[in-house]
Structure 1
Amino acid sequence: MSNEKENQAKGAFDKVKGEVKDQFGKLTNDKKKQASGKVDKAKGAIKQKTGEAQEKMKNQDDE
């Protein structure tokens, strides 16, 4: 798997993992778990955007 696709996949996974933590934290009224979930979602979004940018740069180089 290419690095850019790997970043996109890992980012998507982190976003899902973060959403689960966030919702679990809300359900159990655990503010730390909720905050951790929000951090994971943000990290995932960054990874995903990084992978997308890498892919765009690679496609521009191929042209």
Structure 2
Amino acid sequence: MNNNKILENTTVLYAEDEDAIQNGITETLNLFGINVICAKNGEEGVSFFKSSKKKLI
């Protein structure tokens, strides 16, 4: 069984206020086929979550 594709096409909401860290994590998750919605802080993350029509993990 190929576990490399288990999270492919998954969307993750990620909140991080440091641009360099946010970019690194986003790029890494994208390598696994994970879509990333980035928020610059928790408040913005909650706002994205509440307004999202997609299931986020």
Bigger Cα Rg: 1
Give your verdict on TM over 0.5. Answer: no
TM-score normalized by the length of structure 1: 0.36
In terms of fraction of residues, the more helix-rich structure is: 1
